[in-house]
Each structure stands twice: as structure tokens, then as C-alpha cells.
Amino acid sequence: MSDLRPPSWVLGPPSSFTVEVDRITELEWNTLLGQFADASIYQTWAYGAVCWGEKQHSHLLLKCGAEVVAAAQLRVVRLPLLNKGVAYLRWGPLWRLRGQPVEPGLLDRMLGALRKEYVERRGLLLRLLPGVFQADAWAGEITSCLRRRGLDLETDIRPYQTSRVDVAQPLDTVRRGLHSRWRNYLKAAEKTGFTVVQGTADELYHQFTVLYREMMARKQFETTVDVEQFRQIHHRLPEALKFQVFVCSADDRPQNALVVSALGESAIYLLAATGNAGLNGRGAYLLQWRALEWLHQQGIRWYDTGGINQEKNPGGYQFKSGLGGREVSHLGRFELHDNWLSAQCVAAAEKLRNALHQLKARLTTRPVPAGKAPQAVIV
């Protein structure tokens, strides 16, 4: 793979690399994310602080000289009294620097640093979801690298399935790639006279939440999405990292809303909602197209449609597949531990948590009416 030749600093001696743990500030971390092509919302400080809590945060940097060349934000959870637990790395580590060739050897160095800090020094189980899809050109090398470092694929976990649209293509090519019915709905929406407003203002996110609550009251299906939690993340993020919110209105009345996170070379379709006033319109199609236009202008390569499942959500699958993207599977979840007790404690705690979650769902959730497949879009 000659196109993956590393820059000269990767070939330097091991002594030129150093590791820093939990010595970076939130402001510094936010700035650092901009230099990685594989940055995502799940590696932002705001996501970790809101979803996990400040005390469960941990940040590891791999440096070559004074330059940060790889980074990772992890959630560290310890079980009371036992001092055992898990270090969970979601959609990381970050190792693909903007403007540099892809170098799996750099990931290998980073994995070694993660193992030494969290597995060997802290005695934790390391659970890692790399930001890589099976369709990526370097996926095979990355899998080999993970296994060499002792990380085993969890074969009983279904990998994340989604559809990715290549928005780096010319926009007329992207539009021709839309399925014919989807394209016809878009044309109809464009003729309707909808008004679309987009931006990062808190007021736009508020308009989304109003529509989302209308949708949830109408659909009444189980979801793990907490739109208030996402609001807190959005509010805490610096301007450059905030969500982009699109709102479609008719006669000054919001009907549809879309929330997108765009970091690094990829964007994620995070949330969407259709209010009661938008049930008979096609505003959702127009919002998706406006998002694609904006992402293309921003130089984004991939638009991840936020997960697909044809069996559980056929309506959502049909809508997302209409965007003409390629269906892809995530590389999977990997684990590494050197402590049998830590692994067993984590497994027991997770079984208990899942059992309590299922019990709560049975007690509080009404079934979705026949033919009313949920349309919430989540990751």
C-alpha cells in the first residue's frame, strides 16, 4: 500500500515519542480536535462531561517531540470497593492527522500507550470502538494492528450498521445518486415554498426539541435518546464544534428539524423530528438536501446517516437509503484485559444494568401501534 507511506516523524526512534495523561485542559482539547481527520462528537470534551461526568473523564496524548500526533478521550468506570472496572474508548483513538497520509504504525504506537496506562498500570478492562468502517481502505491493517496489541473482537456484539454518502463529489452527482422517488419528493418540497433556517443558535435547537416532543407524544416508542442531554452538549461546545441545526417552516411555523454534527472529515445525522404540522409535507427531504449542500461546502467527505436497521425500522431505512449512500458496517468492538477479576466484575455489572433497563422499559413503555414504525433518528 504505497499510498500509506508514513511521514518522516513516524519512522523516528521510540525515544522520540512521549505520553501525557490527564494534563490537558478543555480549551486545549477543543483546539486539538481540529487537527484530526477522524475527530467526532463522541471524542469532544463536552460529550464526555455531559454523558459521563467530569470525574469519569481521562485523556491520553501521544506526542512526537512537542507535536501531538494521536489522542484519546476515555470513560473510566471503577466498581466500588473492588478498584476494578473498564476504560471505554468510543470512536477513537484519534490518529489520522489532517493533510497526512494514513499510517497504521502510528495507531500501533497509540494502542501500546493505551494498554500500558489503562490495562497494565490501572488494571482495567480496555474496551475500544475504533472510528473505522470495514469498507475503509485501511480496515484490514487496522484489524491486524488491534489483534497484535492483544485486542480481541467481541463477536457477540452486532457492529454498527449505517449508510454513508460521499458528499465530496460534485453536488449534481450527489443529487443524481438520490433514489428516484426520494428525488421527486425533494422536487415537490422545493416547490412548496418552505423556509429553511440553519445555524448553531440555542433557539434553533429549542425549536427542534418542541418538534421532537410532538413526535414522541404521537409515536410513543422506546428510545435511549435524551434531547436535553444533547442540548447541554451543544451549549457547552465551542462555536467551531457545535451542532448544525436545520429547521423547515411553513408560514413561520416550524414543521421539521434536523441536527447534524460535522467534525473532521465526517458528519453524523444525529437527530431529526417532524412535528404535527409537518406530517403531510416533504420538509424532511428538503432539510436533508440542504444539509448535504452545506457539508459539501464545508469540505466534509462523508455523511453518516446515523445508523440503519431494515428489520426494526423499515421506514427509517427506506428514507435513509434514498440518499443513495453506501451501506457499511463498523469494524466492531474490541477488548483487552490482563486481569480476570476486572473482566468478570464488568460483565456482571453490565448484566445487572441491562436487566434493570429492560425491566424499566417494560414498566414504562407502551407498544408501538401496528404499522407505526418509529421515525426518530439517533446514534
87, 343 in Cβ contact below 8 A?
Answer: no
Task: Give 318-345 pLDDT, tens digit per residue.
Answer: 999 999 999 999 999 999 977 655 555 5
pTM score of the predicted model: 0.86
Architecture of 16-158+330-338 per CATH? 3-Layer(aba) Sandwich (3.40)
Same fold, 16-158+330-338 and 163-328: yes
Q: How confident is the model at residue 204 (pLDDT cuts 50, 70, 90)?
A: very high
Query: Which residues, in sequence order, are CB contacts of 284 under 8 Å at separation 6+?
Result: 248, 256, 258, 272, 274, 278, 319
Task: Give 93-132 pLDDT, tens digit per residue.
Answer: 999 999 898 888 899 999 999 999 999 999 999 999 999 9
Closest CA to 270 of 162, 128, 135: 162
- Say which CATH superfamily domain 163-328 falls into: Gcn5-related N-acetyltransferase (GNAT) (3.40.630.30)
Task: Give 36-82 pLDDT, tens digit per residue.
Answer: 999 999 999 999 999 999 899 999 999 999 999 999 999 999 887 66
Rounded Cα–Cα distance for residues 12 and 244 (Å): 40
Task: Give 302-324 pLDDT, tens digit per residue.
Answer: 999 999 999 988 999 999 999 99
Domain boundary assignment for the chain = 16-158+330-338, 163-328
Other CB atoms within 10 Å distance of the CB of residue 265:
17
| DSSP letter for each residue of 183-236 | HHHHHHHHHHT-EEEEE--HHHHHHHHHHHHHHHHHH-------HHHHHHHHHH
pLDDT, position 341: 58
Taking 70 as the threshold, does the pLDDT of residue 185 lie above it? yes
